[in-house]
Structure 1
Amino acid sequence: MPLTPLDIHNVEFKKTLRGYSEDQVDSFLNKVTRDYENLYKENMELKERLEDIQAVVTHYRELENTLRDTMVLAQQVADEAKKNAASEAEILRREAQAEAARILAEADLKVRESMRQYEELVQSTHAFRARMRGFLLAQLELWDDEPAAGQGQVV
């Protein structure tokens, strides 16, 4: 057990015939007691301050750990979000490609249908022209075969 200022103050020495001067010893012990008491109080205050500082350091270490964990979690969330965004972008890209392919196929089908209709129209036009030519030629023949009305006759 450590020596306290009270222990120093209450110490008693035996008196001998040729011993030290009692006044000098008492005076010295009083000075030692005061100095030791001051040092003892200072030591206790320093221990209390050390405990307070250790509590603050512990608090900041816990805060640091919490921040580190938060940063790790934030990084994981960011990585996951990035991964999800990349996956979603890939899905959107594929959907866009599929839609573009569908639109192109539909456009190709419409072009083919338009070409078919055009070919039908060309064939119909040729057939109409051929019929019309036949009709006109027949009319010309009829006209040529008809005797001229009043040939040589004056009307």
Structure 2
Amino acid sequence: MITPLDIQNKEFKRTIFGYSAKTVDTFLDEIIIDYERIYKENIELKDKINLLSDQIRQFNTMEDTLKNTLVVAQTTADEVTSSARQKAENIIADAELSGKKLIDQAHEDVRNIKKEYESLKREIYMFKARYQSFLQSQLISMEDFYKNEKDTDTDIVEELDNMGA
């Protein structure tokens, strides 16, 4: 690429029927000024393009990072949700198992209480039968005792009658 300095240092050969040196020099001065302005503008635009390209790369990198972060966040959220769901299912299963155990224990307690109740009923019945038997035997013993007493009293009264008579 020709620089403004190249144009400025350019010299033309002079000939007898050639162009006027003053006209060529004036024209070249105008070209140098315009070319310098365009050249500087071109450098500025290239710098701006480089700066914007760097920013685009940064934004693309940031976008990739955000996408990766969102993927990781989504994956983490899915894992947390799955873990929470699994924990909830485990808690429910444990609660159902505990409830079943409590119900089974309550049924066992009811059976034991019924057995104890039946055992106590038998004991009461046996106690009642024994006590009734005991009372009957006491009544019989008392009747025998009073019968014997009556016989003895009669014998004593007869002896007293015999002695006084």
Distance (Å, rounded) in 2 between the aligned partners of 1:47 and 1:93: 67
1:72 to 2:71 alignment? yes
Corresponding residue pairs, total: 151
Q: Which moved more, 1:22-31 or 1:40-49?
A: 22-31
1:85 to 2:84 alignment? yes
Distance (Å, rounded) in 2 between the aligned partners of 1:29 and 1:132: 148
Distance (Å, rounded) in 1 between the aligned partners of 2:41 and 2:3: 13
Query: What letter corresponds to residue 50 of structure 2 in structure 1?
Result: E
Aligned ranges 1:131-150 → 2 under 5 Å: 131-145=130-144, 146-147=146-147
Find the structure with the greater CA-based Rg.
2
Q: Which moved more, 1:12-21 or 1:41-50?
A: 12-21
1:55-77, Cα deviation, whole Å (9 max, x unpaired): 11111101101110111111112
- Counterpart of 1:98 in structure 2 is 97
Unaligned runs of 5+ residues in structure 2 are 158-165
- Counterpart of 2:123 in structure 1 is 124
Distance (Å, rounded) in 1 between the aligned partners of 2:113 and 2:13: 133
What is the CA-CA distance between 1:18 and the residue it aligns to?
A: 5.4
Q: Which moved more, 1:6-15 or 1:28-37?
A: 6-15
1:98-120, Cα deviation, whole Å (9 max, x unpaired): 22222222222122112111111
- Counterpart of 1:57 in structure 2 is 56
Query: What letter corresponds to residue 53 of structure 1 in structure 2?
Result: L
What is the CA-CA distance between 1:23 and the residue it aligns to?
A: 2.4
Q: Which moved more, 1:90-99 or 1:42-51?
A: 90-99
**So what's the TM-score if we normalise by structure 2?**
0.79
What is the CA-CA distance between 1:78 and the residue it aligns to?
A: 1.4
Q: Which moved more, 1:45-54 or 1:86-95?
A: 86-95
Distance (Å, rounded) in 1 between the aligned partners of 2:19 and 2:108: 128
**So what's the TM-score if we normalise by structure 1?**
0.83
Query: What letter corresponds to residue 38 of structure 1 in structure 2?
Result: R
Q: Which of the two has greater helix per residue?
A: 2
1:6-36, Cα deviation, whole Å (9 max, x unpaired): 2321233343445544323322321220221
- Counterpart of 1:9 in structure 2 is 8
Query: What letter corresponds to residue 128 of structure 2 in structure 1?
Result: R
